[in-house]
Structure 1
Amino acid sequence: MNRRVVITGVGVTAPGGIGAKDFWTLLSEGRTATRGITFFDPSQFRSRVAAEIDFDPRAHGLGPQEVRRMDRAAQLAVVSAREAVADSGLEPGGLDPYRTGVAVGSAVGATMGLDREYNVVSDGGRLDLVDHTYAVPHLYDYFVPGSFAAEVAWAVGAEGPTAVVSTGCTSGLDAVGHAVELIREGAADRMVAGAADAPISPITVACFDAIKATTPRNDDAEHASRPFDGTRNGFVLGEGAAVFVLEEREAARRRRAHVYAEVAGFATRCNAFHMTGLRPDGREMAEAIRTALDEARCDPSDIDYINAHGSGTKQNDRHETAAFKRSLGEHARRTPVSSIKSMVGHSLGAIGSIEIAASVLAMEHDVVPPTANLTVPDPECDLDYVPLTAREHRTDTVLTVGSGFGGFQSAMVLTSKGATEREAA
């Protein structure tokens, strides 16, 4: 079965931009949404900056019971899913529920809900033997990441294949890749797929402090995230969600849907090397890129823009630079590259989907978003990393990649040429 899969709806809830339109405005203007942490008192921590969302769930259509029931990450996923379905032009009540599925990625699940409830049942950490009767009645859902997918399925009326994909920081790419495969094999006709994480909590900040992965640049939060810059010293934690409506291409054409892009190729690999470390040669990421290109039937020279993982750690940025050179050859030096983490931080499992959203919007507008805060070139990162200001650039085919703890390396090829074919039909 050779079913091609396209994106017909986009929903984004991200720092500095709730909704795809505001999200793209932030990126195209090169503004940053990083600031000092306000969700809790961070004074005891090494890194005290984050990319937070000014998010009121009630203002975005969630009722009191939904707010009570759902962890913040699930709320972000549901709001994004509703936007994506509305953007696609599909009517939730008109969907064939058994042919519509859901795939949601998340690295750390209901971190904020669990952190908050532990604080309650342990009386602020003073009790060794906690009293569960003080917890919210839906605490079980916080322990089961599958609740995220269930919430999205209920919100859009999907009764087909439903799953959560949790592969660390590649979860957002891998969930969409999983959804694409379900449509290709005929298990579903459309999927609502993406990822959400809301990890800005004391436990998460403490964990990244322990391994010194996050930046200690607390006195300049606005410029703290500096991917590929010679002065970078760690990533900025973020939160967010992005969700898409994926459809079989011919079905989308028949209903004359607006097609953002075709998901032409996807591949994921594991380096089987180290929980947090990366080989400097970028071999595993390069292999994922080559496999995704082969599936898309693309030559390296077809890539117009690379949306990098670009976390802002020294080992990741060097690893990626090597992987791009290894997989794309000389074309890597002619291809614009950027990291939106410079503006919206690193939302762990959600960021892969947020970067897919940035990629399809870059194609939609023929604009490459910048790498904010890139002012000091690193000789070891010697590609065209589009510093500071967005660039007008014909963008028909994009490579977006992710790298995650555990050794996960994922790559996806997106092309807008399917949209051109639809419009010409």
Structure 2
Amino acid sequence: MSRRRAVITGIGVVAPGGVGRERFWELLAAGRTATRTITFFDPSGFRSRMAAECDFDPAAEGLTPQEIRRMDRAAQLAVVSAREAWRDSGLAADGVPPERIGVSLGSAVGCTTGLEEEYVVLSDGGRHWLVDPAYAVPHLYGYMAPSTLACEVAWACRAEGPVALISTGCTSGLDAVGHGCRLIQDGAADVVVAGATDAPVSPITVACFDAIRATSPNNADPEHASRPFDRRRDGFVLGEGAAIMIIEELEAARRRGASVYCEIVGFATRSNAYHMTGLKPDGREMAEAIRVALDQARLNPEDVDYVNAHGSGTKQNDRHETAAFKRSLGEHARRVPVSSIKSMVGHSLGAIGSIEVAACALAIEHQVVPPTANLLEPDPECDLDYVPLTAREHRIDVVLSVGSGFGGFQSAMLLADPWKVPR
């Protein structure tokens, strides 16, 4: 019996630079950056004082006062993205039995914003060790439990099927979409609302990355601070956002006349079992994830038309995945265009993998490779075609998207045009 084929029929995005998938794609295609000095709080005491913030008004995006009061910012981003994705898919509100709708949501740091804000109130700015719970919002427990994020999306989409929160660091978004794909392939659901959200632009998160010196200190030029694969790169720029995909079985999507962005044809994840933040220079674990994803898709390295890199802009990551591409794709690694959208929208931790999947699906739709912004002085050790500065028209039938996360997580996903790539 052949496995069911999983396709993306709806996309919703809240990202730095604009709300909605159309504004998101416009920013990428134009090569604009959305990184700036942090405005959410006074960052003057921090080493890195930049972020890619979303200009997001929950009331303007249709959330009610009660929803705004109840939800952490990460949940708000996810629900608004999910509602856009559902509308985009064209699914009728009552077109799928609720028990056949699933949710697979990723997040690296959960409701960090809400937890920190509440701690500041409860402790009176950190002055009291013993806090008074009387000052807490009634939904504080929900902030503590990351699964609340998946529940909010399930409620918004009336999903009564399998619901899960995937938290694997910076690969959470990619892994959540991969898990959602498998729910469709295995017949556990007919529709899966899959993606990720994170809203980590808060003092505690900035302090954590300051401590390990992972973020860029280029505060004088925040617009150009995120520069993956550039010789002068000095760390990533923190971001926030959410992206949600509607995943369906191909034949069901065909029967209802749905527009299909792409098919998820391969997914694999590996761990390096090595170090919490360190990466081996040979890229072996990422290369293995790519190899397994290619095998699942029954594709050769030469079939890949575009690689969406993790491209965080740290010294070790960019060298690591350059080595992984060479190891897994062979000589084709030198011919295929590769780029990192983190140069434009920052690194939103667990959310970025799903935001990148959305970018890959839109790249297939528009037949355009987004650029790597700010790549002015290529690192000689990163010697592939990293599409500097300007988007490129290019035939794209198959896209490889990869992710790398603290803890050694390495994930790879292949997306393809189902009408052009035989299965």
TM-score, L = length of structure 1: 0.98
Segment drifting more, 341-350 vs 127-136? 127-136
Q: Structure 1 residue 8 and structure 2 residue 9: aligned?
A: yes
Q: Structure 1 residue 407 and structure 2 residue 415: aligned?
A: no
Q: 1:254 to 1:151 in 2, by over 3 A?
A: same
Could you list the per-position Cα deviations for residues 115-169 of structure 1 after superposition, in whole angstroms to 9, with x for gaps in the alignment? 1000000001111111111011000000111111110011011100000000000
State the aligned residue count: 422
Q: Is the 8 A contact 1:333 1:383 kept in 2?
A: yes
Structure 1 CA distance for aligned equivalents of residues 340 and 209 of structure 2: 20
Q: Is the 8 A contact 1:261 1:419 kept in 2?
A: no
Structure 2 CA distance for aligned equivalents of residues 132 and 421 of structure 1: 59
AA aligned to 1:395 is I
1:336-415 to structure 2, matched below 5 A, reads 336-415=337-416
AA aligned to 1:298 is L
1:213-252 to structure 2, matched below 5 A, reads 213-252=214-253
AA aligned to 1:361 is L
Structure 1 CA distance for aligned equivalents of residues 95 and 361 of structure 2: 26
In structure 2, the partner of 1:192 is: 193
AA aligned to 1:177 is G
In structure 1, the partner of 2:121 is: 120
1:33-112 to structure 2, matched below 5 A, reads 33-112=34-113
AA aligned to 1:194 is G
Moved over 4 A (4+): 419-422
Secondary structure of 2:268's counterpart equals strand
AA aligned to 2:128 is L
> How much has 1:314 moved relative to structure 2?
0.5
AA aligned to 2:13 is V
AA aligned to 1:11 is G
> How much has 1:400 moved relative to structure 2?
0.2
Q: Is the 8 A contact 1:8 1:246 kept in 2?
A: yes
Secondary structure of 1:45's counterpart equals coil
> How much has 1:91 moved relative to structure 2?
1.8
AA aligned to 1:210 is A
> How much has 1:220 moved relative to structure 2?
0.2
In structure 2, the partner of 1:281 is: 282
Q: 1:421 to 1:205 in 2, by over 3 A?
A: same
Secondary structure of 2:59's counterpart equals helix
Q: Is the 8 A contact 1:236 1:345 kept in 2?
A: yes
In structure 2, the partner of 1:157 is: 158
Structure 2, unaligned runs of 5 or more: none
Structure 2 CA distance for aligned equivalents of residues 183 and 33 of structure 1: 35
Q: Is the 8 A contact 2:397 2:420 kept in 1?
A: no
In structure 2, the partner of 1:254 is: 255
Q: Is the 8 A contact 1:57 1:67 kept in 2?
A: yes
Q: Structure 1 residue 20 and structure 2 residue 21: aligned?
A: yes
> How much has 1:418 moved relative to structure 2?
3.6
AA aligned to 2:355 is I
Secondary structure of 2:60's counterpart equals helix
Q: Structure 1 residue 291 and structure 2 residue 329: aligned?
A: no
Q: Structure 1 residue 133 and structure 2 residue 134: aligned?
A: yes
Q: 1:211 to 1:204 in 2, by over 3 A?
A: same
AA aligned to 2:408 is G
In structure 1, the partner of 2:303 is: 302
Secondary structure of 1:402's counterpart equals strand
Structure 1, unaligned runs of 5 or more: none
Q: Is the 8 A contact 1:259 1:419 kept in 2?
A: no
AA aligned to 2:409 is F
Q: Is the 8 A contact 2:397 2:421 kept in 1?
A: no
> How much has 1:419 moved relative to structure 2?
7.4
Secondary structure of 1:267's counterpart equals strand
Could you list the per-position Cα deviations for residues 223-251 of structure 1 after superposition, in whole angstroms to 9, with x for gaps in the alignment? 01000000000000000000000001110
> How much has 1:92 moved relative to structure 2?
2.4
> How much has 1:421 moved relative to structure 2?
8.5
Q: Is the 8 A contact 1:45 1:205 kept in 2?
A: yes
Structure 2 CA distance for aligned equivalents of residues 64 and 104 of structure 1: 24
> How much has 1:416 moved relative to structure 2?
1.2
> How much has 1:420 moved relative to structure 2?
8.3
Structure 2 CA distance for aligned equivalents of residues 398 and 177 of structure 1: 15
> How much has 1:94 moved relative to structure 2?
2.7
Could you list the per-position Cα deviations for residues 282-324 of structure 1 after superposition, in whole angstroms to 9, with x for gaps in the alignment? 0000000000000011100000000000000000000000000
In structure 2, the partner of 1:30 is: 31
Structure 2 CA distance for aligned equivalents of residues 235 and 199 of structure 1: 14
Q: Is the 8 A contact 2:238 2:346 kept in 1?
A: yes
AA aligned to 2:181 is V
Secondary structure of 1:62's counterpart equals coil
> How much has 1:264 moved relative to structure 2?
0.2
> How much has 1:256 moved relative to structure 2?
1.1
Q: CA RMSD in A?
A: 1.1
AA aligned to 2:87 is A
Structure 1 CA distance for aligned equivalents of residues 233 and 70 of structure 2: 39
Structure 2 CA distance for aligned equivalents of residues 254 and 140 of structure 1: 43
Secondary structure of 2:264's counterpart equals strand
AA aligned to 2:46 is F
> How much has 1:182 moved relative to structure 2?
1.1
Q: Is the 8 A contact 1:92 1:157 kept in 2?
A: no
Structure 1 CA distance for aligned equivalents of residues 4 and 183 of structure 2: 10
Structure 2 CA distance for aligned equivalents of residues 323 and 420 of structure 1: 24
Q: Is the 8 A contact 1:9 1:245 kept in 2?
A: yes
In structure 2, the partner of 1:417 is: 418
Q: 1:369 to 1:418 in 2, by over 3 A?
A: same
Structure 2 CA distance for aligned equivalents of residues 419 and 352 of structure 1: 25
Secondary structure of 2:282's counterpart equals coil
TM-score, L = length of structure 2: 0.99
Structure 1 CA distance for aligned equivalents of residues 142 and 125 of structure 2: 22
> How much has 1:417 moved relative to structure 2?
3.0
Structure 1 CA distance for aligned equivalents of residues 58 and 417 of structure 2: 33
Structure 1 CA distance for aligned equivalents of residues 271 and 133 of structure 2: 39
Q: Structure 1 residue 331 and structure 2 residue 326: aligned?
A: no
